[in-house]
Amino acid sequence: MDGCGCDDYASPIDAGVARSDRDSYHVDGPDETTRMLLDMIEANSGSGATVLDVGGGIGIIDLELLRTRASTCVLVEASPDYLEAAHEEAQAAGVLDRIEIVAGDFVRRAGDIDAADIVTLDRVVCCYPDADELVSTSAAHAKKLYGLVLPRERWYVRWASKLDNIRWWLKRSAYRAYHHSNTRIDDQLAASGLVLRSEAFTRFWRVVLYARDEPGAADRS
């Protein structure tokens, strides 16, 4: 049984995954859905923003926004291997003085973490068992924008998650992928005072940006 070592949160991430993510980023930049989310944020945010990146991995969103929009970032991550890689990437980019890296489960640490102009969860909701708590807690930290990448509401995506979990079970891993209701998440965010600003899709993923200010017409693609 594997665990990340932070708050007993089971994680599929090891040093090999962290290295692979870092190598891909160095060669190709952010992957498709992360780039989509970044484009949405950059189109809807001015300079000098503060960022809270929940489950931030090696820190790709942080590094990209520190170059374009952000003044400071807080990255919260439960995987020790991702934490180590995030520190190395921030150091290599010369932004350690502008990024705070917090180890642990965001929901458990939320009381010690300040609100930020922009909050992001890039393929994080699908890794967390209690989506209600994760979404409501992270939404409460968003002053202006809230960005999500999460699995689409499609039958083939649900089956892919089930097959993936059989693989984790066979590997005796405690990790499980979760396919939470998009509608329920949208309703939670609406109850938190956030409204849809922009939305896009790939075959498996939904990329969506919410805002607290006047949204105008939602941009769907």
Rounded to an integer, what distance in angstroms lies between the CA atom of residue 103 and that of residue 84?
10
Q: In what order do the strands lie in the sheet with 116-122?
A: 99-103, 70-77, 49-54, 116-122, 142-151, 205-211, 195-201, 219-220
Cβ contact 118:41 at 8 Å: yes
**Beta carbons within 10 angstroms of residue 75's beta carbon:** 28
Return all residues near 32 (Cβ < 8 A) that are at least 6 apart: 202
How much is the pLDDT for 214? 56
Nearest to 48 by CA among 66, 72, 71: 71
The pLDDT score that the predictor gives to residue 185 is 97
* Ramachandran angles phi, psi of 107, nearest 5°: -60, -40
pLDDT in tens, the chain (221 residues): 223 333 444 567 778 889 999 999 999 999 999 999 999 999 999 999 999 999 999 999 999 999 999 999 999 999 999 999 999 999 999 999 999 999 999 999 999 999 999 999 999 999 999 999 999 999 999 999 999 999 999 999 999 999 998 988 898 888 889 999 999 999 999 999 999 999 999 999 999 999 996 544 445 44
- What does CATH list as the number for 15-220? 3.40.50.150
The whole-number pLDDT of residue 108 equals: 94
Q: What is the structure's pLDDT at 11?
A: 65
